[in-house]
Each structure stands twice: as structure tokens, then as C-alpha cells.
Chains A and B, each alone.
Chain A
Amino acid sequence: MSALDATLRKLGAMTIDGVWRLGFAARFFLAVLRYSGQSFLRLPLTIREIYFSGVLSLLIILVSGLFVGMVLGLQGYDILQRFGSSDALGIMVALSLLRELGPVVAGLLFASRAGSAVTAEIGLMKTTEQLQAMDMMAVNPLARVVAPRFWGGVISMPLLAAMFSAMGIFGGWMIGVVAIGVDDGAFWSQMRASVDFRYDVLNGVIKSFVFGVAVSWVAVFEGYDCHPTAEGVSRAITRTVVYSALLILALDFVLTSFMFRGP
């Protein structure tokens, strides 16, 4: 077999494998949705996951939001004052956070903080035969383990993105108004006048919800599908972070192109 032949074969095998896995992931997603009813009937299970994915991610989200907002304050002032419009700093900070940075950066942080943890947990449960044991006890692991973690992530993500944006605006205000001396009244009134609830805020929330679904889906799937060895779990965690990040950025482009086409 020539080298070219071997490469083509390998490429073909990889493609088939990829398509097969994507199909499996899609069927898995439908199965999770099908068994989601139970995780809402037994709310404490889902609330526990909201605590682990959401509440415990709060610190990193808030601190990151503060720094991103402070950087926006510095950069925004530097650019806007060249055009003599530093009063518009509030608009710039709020819009960039609500539309883009809030959902995207919070999503990336969420994937690496909570998504990886969910993959690791489910993967280790699989490795130590806990999922099989549950299945043998006639308890469906999709309903008992996977669905609550999926919904815990989906519910947490928009809330975290909102906290990120709020903290970012506070950071921008601290730098712009408190440290640099932009007019306080102008900062807030311009923001209030220019930020539209549906066009800016709601679209941002929709984005963060979509990212929440994407990250949670990838995280539970990679955990459930991992090879039940130490190496398999570690690879699954890596894949969760990589795929989540790529999905968030790609979806962000698609969503932005549909949502923000100007008035």
C-alpha cells in the first residue's frame, strides 16, 4: 500500500468515525431530553447540580467579570477620548459585555470550570462501574445522573453570564468614573438611553442559554462516552474543554450574524 493510499484510508476512517460519533452524540442528546422529565420531578437532584455547576463557579465568574470590565474601562476611555466622546464610555462597556463578552467569556470559563468537572465525575463513575451498577439496580443513569447535570448546567449558564456582565459594568464604572473621572451621570444615563432590552439584553441572554446547552451537552456526552480508564477520562476532559470552546466561538459567530444586523 502506498503512503498516499494509507493516508487516504486513515482520513476516510477518521471521517466515518467522526460522523458516527456525532450521530451518537445527537441520539444521546435526544435520550437525555427524553429522560429529563424525571430530573424535574425530583428537583433536589437538579438543584444540587445547579449548586455544583453554578454557585461554585460564581467566584471565578465574578472576579473575571470585574477584570474584564476594568480593562474595558481603560481601553474604552483611551479610544473614546480621542473623539471627544468619553461620556459614551458607559454605552461601550455595557454593550460589549451584554452582547458579546458576557456570554462568550462566561461560557468559556464555565466550560473549563464546571464542564470539565461534570465530564470527570461522569467519566469516573463509568470507570468505577457506578453507572453500570445503577443500571443493574433498574435505575436509568441517564435520568438519575446525566439529565440533572445537563439541566444544572443549562440553568446556571445564563445566570452566570448575567453576573459576569453586571460585575463587568461595575468594573468599567470603577475605572472610568471613580479612577479616571468620567462624569457619573453621563456614564449611567447614556447607558440607559442606548441599551435596548430586547435587542441587546435579551439577545445576550439567548446566546448564553445556547452556550449553556452546548457546553452541558458536550460535558455529559464526553463523560458518558469516555473510555473507562484513567487515560480515557483525562482525554474526555480535554475534549470537553476544546470542543466547548470551539462550539461557543462558532455558535457566537452564527448567532451574532443573525441577531445584530443593525436597525
Chain B
Amino acid sequence: MTQWSGYFGLILQGALVTIELTLMGSVLALIMAFLAGLGRLSRFFAIRALATAYIEFFRGTSIFVQLFWAYFVLPFIGISLTPLQAGVLALGLNVGAYAAEVVRGAIQSIGREQYEACTALNLGRWQAMRHVILPQALLVMLPTFGNNAIELLKATAVVSLISLTDLTFQAQVVRSQTGNTLVPFTTILIIYFALALIISWGVRSLERRMARGLDGVRV
């Protein structure tokens, strides 16, 4: 039974790769979400069109296709990516497109009176966004961002198909070496579920923290 500990180490290594991918993908997704989400609310038609095209393209095609495109097609036009880079790029851009709609929705959900108050206080567009609108909108976005992060975690399983050694890949390795399918797959299912629970717990506590001091503002 000593061999199982070695295989478990392999799975843990995979878990680290999955966590790393999830974190880096989330950071890229967050950046893209704010760029595209604010872009859709821009005054300039060109920026609005660009943001809309990005969002529709990445929401309309499958994450799987985007990943394969990044990994197999980009090299032919001169951009070679490592599996990890391709994974982070595809995951971040894909989930970023979904999250961009969350950013837009949250900003639009802030009441008109807040904008009017900003005008009355003679705040500029950027100042109003930075000091009044975003602090309130962030709280609205947060729960959905948590869901998006879990979607991203689940989507990382796909990168095993471009030979990145994440949890799913390692489970396949263990399967092919031991011939046992039940144990490795059950183990990684439980690990994925635990990671998802950690994300939802983290987002909930972050939400409580950020809601502090906003009691009077939110109805």
C-alpha cells in the first residue's frame, strides 16, 4: 500500500497546478472584466463596439475551442505559447467576458440619484466612478464574481487536454499506471469540490468585510 502515497503526491502536485491556473486566470479575468465592462459604458462608439465584440466573441465560442485555438493555431502565426500560458490566456479571456457583463450590470444597477448627487458635488466622471459608483457596485458584483471564479476553477480541467499537468491530467496518469479508475477520479472530484467550497466561503467573508460601513447607503 506504500505506492498510494506516491500517487497521492502526484495528485497534490496537480492540485497546485490547478490552484495556480485558477489564481492567474482569475487575475486576468478580473482585469479584462473591468476593461470590457467599463468599455461597454464608454462615451465613444469605437470603444463600445470593441468591448461588445470581445464579449460576444468569447461568450459565443466554447472555452474548449478557444484553448485549442490558442495552443494549436497561434504557433502557425508566429506566437508560441507554453501550455500554461495558453491555459491562463484562454481561461482569463473567456471568464473575463462573462464577468464584464457582471461589471456592466452592477454599475447600471446603481441608482440615478447617486449620479445626480455626483453632479451636484461637481465630481468629474472619473472621480464619480472611483469614489461613489464603484465602491457600491463592487458589492453587487462580488457574489457573481464568486460564481465566475468557481466556473473558472471547473474550466481548468479542460487544460489537461493540452498536456498541462493539472489535477485531471494527474488522475489520468494514476489511472493508466494503476489500472484503478474509481480512487483517482473520486479523489480529484472531492478536491475540486473542496476548492469550490473554499472560493465560495472566501467570497462570502470578503462580501461581509466590504459591506461594513455601507449600511446607511444600501437599502
Decide if A and B are genuine partners.
no
Binding site for A on B (CB under 8 A): none
| Chain A positions near chain B (C-beta within 8 angstroms) | none
